[in-house]
Structure 1
């Protein structure tokens, strides 16, 4: 693993994630280190320390980090990008710039001005053809590029068998998909437009006819407003071993879809005990929700890429005898086949704090 806190002056062990972050001085010799003012720190525990500083590139059109992973070329890697502007330069104007890995364009950081204090994450899967990976930030004339943190993770080729270029992922606000998407707030009693994301969420009553709606007590709401509405209710499944949502996307079978799963327990049942259960898409096992008791008030997200062989996608929650399954929200997004050309089963992603990547297919990792 290579974990870099860009702009940090020394290495440190992160108290939250348990990840050892390195200063970026050994990976790049251009750019300027800057600190975020304490009054502008990102207010949530996730990612907090890594985004108290950054490296910006006021000089030159192209500035690159040099990464040399031990596995070398022709291995598969996940590269995580963290961007938090935080008005570090007191200009209150977010720059726009391009990001490349090697000679390949990956994405453009193009944020709205009201996202000055928003943490943005982008993920890239890359298969280098040399033992060195260059991660480059390109000044396009719309402000000074910057980066808050970089993480490089080797991927198991049995789970990620493709050997071409790069695939691009990001948080749900970056998906750029407006057609044929389905957004379900599980346990909600009516449809609504989310004020934060601008996403129109549907009640799940049209997608499932089993289970029980439950509300989270207001004092236990998830505190981050980016996800708060989705964590105020849920659907649980006290009856039956298997309960399934039925999704019918317009594009039908043989298209590629990203399915986002949101889980927030929030002690909704006053038992103070998080259940463990399995999740399937169709007949394929995806992952096990297996949380520690300290994560009662933690929002957990998992992503699955799925290529169905029928026009209906069944998303199923399996009671394994370790508590009642539940789900807070589901999102379905069609993917562009020019970016996601594989046609096999499913790939599993999630948030970054579970980066236990091994050959064990039951391991999943958190973005």
Structure 2
């Protein structure tokens, strides 16, 4: 591992209006000074853009508290090669954190084009920009960190999921694009000696999260008195990971890049790594939903006498979904000291309180 001091560095974060992207930027502004952050986001309407605008406003307010640091934001798509090249030529980022992607398993079944555009072409543009950052003897990018996904494990029967497992049987296009990202990063690490680390995220949740995630959608429906559908008749387990724990892990990884080494043939041994980043503690979906409704009642989002039983419906599994996600995070703990510290109840409590405050209930 090569240690990187983030102080004074220029960090390019894609997907800066997204859930993980925005929280990563906030954490960097709060914990590293000075730091220079450049970000881009396409602000797609995959979900309510007002939530993305809210996150960007939080970042801009935070940046004002840190006059020695800078934050620059560009509205645009990483599949726009000119935009990416322009940012690299102007800012010469030391670290690139790619958190921009078309997310969602079910959406990829209906709208495959957006996944190819962002997750494949956009990813390629970033790799090419990293490659050319070393042209003409320039120092170039120290570390390329990117979001992969637990979806790459498909319907693997072996749990917990390990990065040593074969992941050759994706059950959605989204998963296929994420596995492709890992393969592309490996090739570029090998060919151009680009230190890269992929992070397979496991079911990230928390305040101001993605509205298409179950806990957020369940809350919206329960408030309206609608029934919520719990897939696979409740026999699903998810490795729910709280956003602050995820962001802490991302920052730890940014600070340590895979070491550049030469093989016996004199060519680079790829400075490449992939890690699971999760809670290492899968929760049954029924238990999760029960804790969620308790915390929504406690936060006065739902009334005290709310009849939860009459608002849930057990239904079969959806196409592209898997019955369990469970991260083997031992390598991340070994190499970075990563250990999630937020309990499910605490995380859902914070979400419920945020929901009440921001929806003015």
Do Structure 1 and Structure 2 share a fold, with TM-score over 0.5?
Answer: no
Kindly indicate whether structure 1 or structure 2 has the higher relative contact order, using CA contacts under 8 Å at least 6 residues apart: 2
Larger % of strand: which?
1
Q: Normalized per residue, which structure has more helix?
A: 2
The two structures have a TM-score, normalised by structure 1, of 0.24
